[in-house]
Amino acid sequence: MIHSVRFTCVLDTNVIYPIEIRDLILWFAHFDLFTPKWTEEIFSELERVMRDKGVTEKDIKKRQAIMNKAFPDALVLNYQGLISSLNLPDPNDRHVLAAAIKTNANLIITSNLRDFPDAVLSKYGLAAKCPDDFLADIIDLNPAQAVKAFRALVLNRRNPDLDEYQVLDRLRKIGLRMTADFLHSQI
């Protein structure tokens, strides 16, 4: 079931950045709605993205350290041997699939669904979902816990300090329309 910490998801770089998506996903994980997984290679991609966005090296390392401290079992190891045997439309995404296989994940959460075709993933008992579909599914399966996670995100938000409705508006603007609407209906 998706509302169980035993439900495991590999988070692609494009859902760890931007910050608003990452924060909501990780608050849901913090409230035991699923178990997140990532790799050093995903973090390397994240570093490049953040550097391109002007994030300082100190802040890059700080953000990664916070994620790894919050989820000490999230880092997938020893998946590299699988990479060369995998075939995806973008060969640079094979490491994500390899990590998902290695950790017996249920889903890959990505904004690039076309790079993770169902025909390939189903061979490994996997599927891919975009963050909006994934988060909306979690809310549907455990609305009370999802609302608690969302409210914790809002209460812990700084710079800028926003209320629930302002955060929902931001989520809509970045493509999490279903998620924001579903949360709005629950609060």
| Buried/exposed 82-92: b ≥16 CB within 10 Å, e otherwise | bbeebebeeee
Closest CA to 128 of 120, 116, 141: 116
CATH topology of domain 8-186: Rossmann fold (3.40.50)
pLDDT tens for the chain, 187 residues: list them.
Answer: 444 557 999 999 999 998 899 999 999 999 999 999 999 999 999 999 999 999 999 999 999 999 999 999 999 999 999 999 999 999 999 999 999 999 999 999 999 999 999 999 999 999 999 999 999 999 999 999 999 999 999 999 887 888 999 999 999 999 999 999 999 999 8
What is the reported pTM?
0.93
Quickly list H helices, the chain. 13-16, 19-30, 40-52, 57-70, 80-83, 94-102, 118-121, 131-141, 143-156, 164-173, 177-186
64 HSE (CA, 13 A, CB side): 21
184 HSE (CA, 13 A, CB side): 14
| DSSP for residue 128 | E
Bridge partner list, 107: 9, 127
* Amino acid at the residue 158: R
Cα–Cα distance list, 76 to 11, 39, 48, 104 (Å): 11, 5, 20, 10
